[in-house]
Amino acid sequence: MKYDFKDETVQSTGLRFPKLELKKDEVGRVCPLSPKFEATITHWVTKLGYVHCFAKADTWEQLVAIERDGGKPDECLLCEMALRADTKEIVQLPNKRMATYALRYKTDMRGNLLGGQLSYYLEIWLLGNKKFRELQNLRKEWGNLQNHDLEIICTEAKYQNFDITLKKEALWNKDKVVKQAVIEYFKAEAVKYDLRKCLGDEIDIDTLKRRFEVIRRRMSPEAEVGLSEQDMFSKETTKKEEEDVFAKAETEGNIFPAEEGEKVPEATTKEEKKETEESSVLDSLVP
């Protein structure tokens, strides 16, 4: 689903993508180019990375409820696994995560424009509850974030923790020619990346069971606990399937660092501030 900063409503809607990441102590300058954020609920699965929860989550309230209640084991196999004593070390409880498109300026490690020239590229910004809440609060105080750049300083690289400072202006929006160029660039680049796929893998139940059985056998070759229960784990996994699963894990499964120490945000009230013309233009370009 897509979460809309503009009116705080929620709308229904390969893991290789340009992800916003900084090195420790690096300073970056970015601008969220759309008020819309893709919001979903995922599980972290050892060797597979983030996998979308199977529980029904068509609204923001449902997302919050799934996270708050520690999952929906009656609707999602992963939620059940996260609660079972023999599998909870492999599958984590569901967590709400968000993603959006960010215009990132080319800067040095201190955040200065390279060569004093304005150049930029599009990256996907993945956010847990803590960072998302920070952006919500900034928007409540300052209005449309498309009119402001954000200076981000990486305080911890593994989990990509940032200190965020709002700037009075957005560099891309100062000149009409540059603004039009950015809009055209955004229009061409954003359609290449499905934010939902950036947030996690979509795996059907049968494939998940096969992969999970391979992971269990590799992590504990002698463990057979629970294999026959409700036919949860198939024992017909071939050697080739094992190799495919771990080849996928090495190339894709762990490209998303887990979020740490994040809490469910409180419900927010509808934003009263009027959106600018630039917001409407970019909003219409969101795929």
Task: Spell out the SS3 assignment of 44-97.
Answer: EECCCEEEECCCCCCCHHHHHHHHHCCCCCCCCHHHHHHHCCCCCCCECCCEEE
SS percent in the chain: helix, strand, coil, step 5: 35, 20, 45
- The rounded mean pLDDT for the chain is 78
Question: Tell me, what's the pLDDT at 57?
Answer: 92
Class in CATH terms, 2-202: alpha beta
Q: Is the pLDDT of residue 250 over 60?
A: no
With 60 as the cut, is the pLDDT of residue 274 above it?
no
- How many residues in the chain? 287
| Residue 25's pLDDT band (cuts 50, 70, 90) | very high
Using a pLDDT cut of 70, give the percent of the chain over it: 71
Task: Give start-end residues of each CATH 3.90.198 domain in the chain.
Answer: 2-202
Q: What confidence category does residue 116 fall into, taking pLDDT thresholds of 50, 70 and 90? A: confident
Q: Given this model, what pLDDT does residue 44 score?
A: 95
pLDDT for residue 198: 93
Mean pLDDT in residue range 233-238: 44
Which of 58-67, 133-142, 248-257 bottoms out in mean pLDDT, i.e. has the lowest?
A: 248-257
Task: Please report the pLDDT score of residue 282 as a whole number.
Answer: 53
CA 280 – CA 277 distance, rounded (Å): 5
Flag whether pLDDT at 11 surpasses 70: no
- Quick one: pLDDT at residue 276? 44
Confidence of residue 50 (pLDDT cuts 50, 70, 90): very high
pLDDT for 241 equals 52
* The pLDDT value given to residue 4: 56
Say how far apart CA 47 and CA 25 lie, in whole Å: 29
Q: What is the mean pLDDT of residues 131-143?
A: 92
CA distance 16 to 14: 5
CA distance 146 to 170: 7
Per residue in 74-94, pLDDT (tens digit) is 999 999 999 999 888 899 999
What is the rounded average pLDDT of the residues 99-124? Answer: 92
- If one compares 171 and 283, the residue with the highest pLDDT of the two is 171
Least confident of 59-68, 96-105, 150-159, 264-273: 264-273
224 or 207, greater pLDDT: 207
Tell me, what's the pLDDT at 254?
Answer: 38
